[in-house]
């Protein structure tokens, strides 16, 4: 099994609306955003920063201000010792959790003893798609073999295949917003969130998540138009096929895609950063570090690339199998709400009770800062386990290109 890996602490920024010049964090350089989380992590944990073997950071759009290895430059921006290295990784929406899992692997192999892992994404300053790669890297040879489609089309196709109606996805989205509203009122994230300040004058810019919309109901969501119907009707195929027709080539039994996802039942565009401090049991005990949890198992898995978003259930099964566990053995589930259909499908496939899933809301309410979300979900899972005196949590995300990622943690202190 290797070295036991402990989660010493986890912190995150609030999520600011990803609107250029309008979101509360939109004027903060993404390096500075992650650097502020690093500073708080060092201060609260009391860890010897010079002992950190690596800082592993998930970031999806690694161009412009998020280019040039944002991990390394955020370390320097935080004023950490020069000997602390950094590396930036991209597994699309799973990047922040993959950073944590890579950190775990380094420690479990005994090559490392102290790792900071997390993610950052400023979607207001570096918009999604800024790297120009499209859905498949613009490779015509790959496209001839696997004609992928935008994620919104995949989400609507999954809903069609699984029989989820517009009412189903809107009901889930309304619950996400309502749970988020309650969570903010009771201070459910107070232990995890650190305030983000203006780097110029040190004034506090944001202390709580900015994206949730209090008072959201199924009735208000029902007024929104489908977000991907127009995209689905565009003719982009090599022979003039519509985007919907391209997707349906893989699923000829489906006659028509039912476009059910809207801006209200899909994840929000936001800015944010998160960091998780990992240590070997040996290092933590030698330096008096008190763990909050341990990582039990991780898994990644590829899935069908046209439908793209369906892997969390099978990836979760893979992680559970490594421990001889069943879905019902997990107390808390954090399933990223890239689109409402993703957690709905996982709950249906694995027989999960919604009362155990995203208990404080998810990305529909709070937003999905791409590279940071996986690490943020580790934060949330820790908060819920401690708040409710529970034991185990499973965090999972769907990933572009047809992949899934999962991590199982167990509360300790």
Angle at which helix 166-186 crosses helix 341-350, to 10 degrees, equals: 100
SS3 content of the chain, % helix, strand, coil (to 5): 35, 20, 45
Averaged over 376-393, what is the pLDDT? Answer: 98
Averaged over 232-260, what is the pLDDT? Answer: 92
Q: Can you tell me the distance from the alpha carbon of 24 to that of 16, in angstroms, rounded to the nearest whole number?
A: 6
Residue 1 predicted with pLDDT over 80: no
Amino acid 337: pLDDT: 98
Name the DSSP letter for residue 338.
S
- In tens, the pLDDT along 277-300 reads 999 999 999 999 999 999 999 999
Runs of H (alpha helix) within 46-190:
70-77, 95-108, 140-145, 151-162, 166-186
The size of the chain, in residues, is 413
Q: Report the half-sphere exposure of 255 (CA within 13 A, side-chain side).
A: 0
Answer whether 337's CB lies under 8 Å from 368's CB.
Answer: yes
Residues 6 or more apart in contact with residue 245 via CB below 8 angstroms = 237
Mean pLDDT of the chain: 97
Answer whether 385's CB lies under 8 Å from 391's CB.
Answer: yes
pTM of the shown model: 0.97
Tokens of 154: 């995949």
Residue 237 predicted with pLDDT over 90: no
Which of 138-147, 191-200, 381-390 shows the lowest mean pLDDT across its residues? 138-147
Catalytically annotated residues: 93, 368, 398
- In tens, the pLDDT along 340-379 reads 999 999 999 999 999 999 999 999 999 999 999 999 999 9
């Amino acid at each position: 099994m290797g070295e036991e890996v402990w989660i010493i602490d986890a912190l995150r920024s609030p999520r600011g609306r990803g609107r250029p010049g309008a979101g509360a964090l939109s004027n903060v350089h993404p390096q500075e955003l992650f650097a502020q989380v690093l500073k708080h992590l060092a201060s609260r944990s009391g860890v010897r920063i010079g002992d950190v073997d690596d800082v592993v950071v998930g970031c999806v759009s690694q161009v412009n201000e998020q280019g040039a290895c944002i991990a390394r430059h955020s370390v320097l921006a935080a004023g950490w010792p020069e000997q602390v290295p950094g590396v930036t990784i991209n597994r699309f929406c799973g990047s922040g959790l993959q950073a944590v899992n890579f950190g775990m692997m380094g420690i479990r192999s005994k090559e490392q003893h102290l790792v900071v892992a997390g993610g950052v994404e400023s979607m207001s300053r570096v918009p999604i798609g800024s790297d120009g790669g499209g859905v498949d890297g613009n490779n015509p040879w790959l496209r001839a073999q696997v004609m992928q489609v935008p994620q919104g089309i995949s989400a609507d196709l999954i809903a069609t295949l699984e029989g989820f109606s517009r009412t189903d996805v809107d009901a889930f989205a309304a619950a996400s917003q309502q749970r988020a509203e309650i969570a903010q009122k009771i201070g459910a994230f107070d232990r995890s969130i650190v305030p983000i300040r203006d780097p110029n004058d040190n004034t506090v810019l944001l202390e709580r998540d900015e994206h949730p919309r209090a008072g959201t109901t199924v009735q208000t969501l029902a007024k929104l138009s489908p977000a991907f119907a127009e995209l689905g009707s565009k003719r982009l195929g090599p022979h003039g096929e519509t985007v919907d027709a391209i997707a349906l080539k893989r699923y000829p039994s489906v006659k028509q895609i039912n476009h059910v996802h809207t801006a209200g039942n899909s994840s929000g565009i936001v800015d944010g950063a998160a960091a998780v401090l990992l240590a070997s049991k040996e290092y933590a005990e030698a330096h008096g570090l008190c763990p909050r949890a341990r990582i039990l198992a991780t898994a990644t898995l590829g899935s069908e690339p046209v439908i793209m978003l369906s892997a969390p259930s099978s990836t979760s099964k893979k992680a559970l199998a490594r421990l001889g566990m069943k879905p019902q053995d997990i107390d808390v589930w954090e399933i990223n709400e890239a689109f409402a259909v993703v957690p709905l499908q996982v709950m249906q496939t694995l027989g999960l009770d919604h009362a155990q899933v995203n208990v404080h809301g998810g990305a529909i309410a709070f937003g999905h800062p791409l590279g940071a979300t996986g690490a943020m979900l580790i934060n949330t899972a820790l908060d819920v386990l401690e708040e409710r005196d529970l034991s185990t949590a499973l965090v999972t995300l769907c990933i572009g290109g047809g992949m899934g990622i999962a991590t199982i943690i167990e509360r300790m202190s």
